[in-house]
Amino acid sequence: ILNVEQSPQSLHVQEGDSTNFTCSFPSSNFYALHWYRWETAKSPEALFVMTLNGDEKKKGRISATLNTKEGYSYLYIKGSQPEDSATYLCAFTSGYSTLTFGKGTMLLVSP
């Protein structure tokens, strides 16, 4: 049984703070690690797909790193804004594009 763990479960920060979340996943049979942002009443939105050990991806103020050997990924948000408030999900895939999700980290950014 594949187990994807995310921490923290929730986070409340002030506007302008930087923050980071952790995703741990099985290091065997790895194909890709996905990060999604999910705002209330919307579809989960893909942020990054990471496949190579040591991968670093960036999209605006959000970046992510990947360590496949030890089975973890970090997501960083620099200078959080209220519009960053969402649940951030990571998902592991070992093939066929089926995703095994963590429970997510719920981020609330206060003005």
**What span, in angstroms and rounded, lies between the C-alpha atoms of 80 and 16?**
5
Cβ 6 to another protein shortest distance, Å: 8
DSSP 1-63: ----EEE-SEEEEETT--EEEEEE--SSS--EEEEEEE-TTS--EEEEEE-STT-EEEETTEE
List the end-to-end C-alpha distance of the chain, in Å, as a whole number: 41
Cβ 37 to another protein shortest distance, Å: 11
Nearer to another protein, 42 or 111 (CB): 42
Nearer to another protein, 15 or 56 (CB): 56
Cβ 9 to another protein shortest distance, Å: 9
The residues that touch another protein, with contacts defined as CB under 8 A, are 4, 6, 31, 34, 36, 41-44, 46, 49, 89, 91, 95-104
Nearer to another protein, 75 or 91 (CB): 91
